[in-house]
Chain A
Amino acid sequence: MSRVKRIAKELEECKQDSHSGVSLKLNNETDLTHLTGVFKGPPGTPYEGGNFQVDINVPSEYPFKPPQMKFITKIYHPNISSVTGAICLDILKDAWSPILTLKSSLISLQSLLQSPEPDDPQDAEVAKHYLSDKKGFNDTAAYWTKIYASDVDAGQAELSDSALYGIDNDIVVQFENMGFPRDKTIEVLRRMGIKNLNSVSNKSETENKILEELLKECQ
């Protein structure tokens, strides 16, 4: 009972406040425990210009237990799973306090986008990308924002399979020209964790390794 009353109050407060840039809506008018939160990507980050939707499930022990949140919008971020949208944030786990609200949790998520914590990752592959190649990471994150989080119809933006994984298109083309199928090349490069060959010291050795894997893959 206490849960429903509090959520109703929070919804009302959130409706009246228009300048925080965070909004909450019920998935179903008759159920106050399943909501969707929406907020804008913070300016000056690769998430700028995106609208991010978060699935919110309020447990019966709320506000003594944290709400369960995960991203509906696909997002490229070290602390958010690029596959499931699961979030690694302390206040949604053991640092929760009952004075926090659904709105303040969404604002915390917004600031998580501003300052990632790659040392405590949810998505290890993305975190590795962030730590090893900040620029490449930013490009990929911005690309994901454009494809998945923009109001623009996704069909209008040109979908590039290599950019989606932060892989340099040149290297994909290089192997495509040798006659390997594009999807297989990207699959192998993803598995090997190779995004480009510019920063690699022993370029030809790496190329041979990729070749070996590709031959195995295409047998």
Chain B
Amino acid sequence: MKVQVLEWNAVASWHWDLKVDDSGVADELCGICRVPFDGTCPSCKYPGTDCPLILGDGCTHNFHLHCILKWLEQDTSKGLCPMCRQVFVYKRIKNMGTSEELHNLQVLIEGHKAMRERENEENEFDSFEDDVRMTD
């Protein structure tokens, strides 16, 4: 029997390679927009490198880069991970996101850090004042 191939279409599928968390299950949804990681954040059209993921470093929580950016833009976020409320830091991975977006993320994280340090200083100053009053 001879088979003649008239036409063929190549199909490829892809999947973000996510580390599983402590419980052994990988979270498939971005906790912020509730869209699967393999889909895009609500403001993007095409999934993939244009709408990358950001992996938490320290905590194991992952988000769409655009989602976590929007969250950290809020003063009320205090720079914390939405899931576990630890200070959010991210893993640096090559070729993820445009350098501009990563730069913005870094600026936001540093801004929150500076804010926290300023608050701590003010608190120390308050307790210093209390000490002075005590000795009066």
- A contact set with B: CB distance below 8 Å: 1-2, 5-6, 9-10, 61, 63-65, 94, 96-99
Contacts and interface: CB of A to CB of B under 8 A. Distances in A.
Contacts of B76: 65, 94, 96
B85 interface: yes
Contacts of B43: 1-2
A16 to B, nearest CB: 14
Contacts of B73: 64
A10 B71 CA distance: 19
Contacts of B85: 97
A6 B34 contact: yes
B87 to A, nearest CB: 14
Contacts of A6: 33-34, 42
B108 to A, nearest CB: 13
Contacts of B35: 5
Contacts of A64: 70-71, 73-74
A91 to B, nearest CB: 11
B23 to A, nearest CB: 16
A1 B70 CA distance: 14
B82 A99 contact: yes
Interface in B1-60: 31-35, 41-43
B94 to A, nearest CB: 28
B115 interface: no
A99 B74 contact: no
B34 A9 contact: yes
B83 interface: yes
Contacts of A99: 31-32, 82-83
A5 B42 contact: yes
A96 B80 CA distance: 11
Given A94-B76, A96-B76, A99-B83, A1 B42 contact: yes
B33 A2 contact: yes
Contacts of B31: 98-99
A63 B64 CA distance: 14
A96 B76 CA distance: 8
A9 B42 CA distance: 12
A98 B69 CA distance: 12
A97 B82 contact: yes
Nearest to A96: B76
Given A1-B42, A5-B33, 18 more contacts: A1-B43, A2-B41, A5-B35, A5-B42, A6-B34, A10-B34, A64-B71, A64-B73, A64-B74, A94-B76, A97-B82, A97-B85, A98-B31, A98-B67, A98-B82, A99-B31, A99-B32, A99-B83
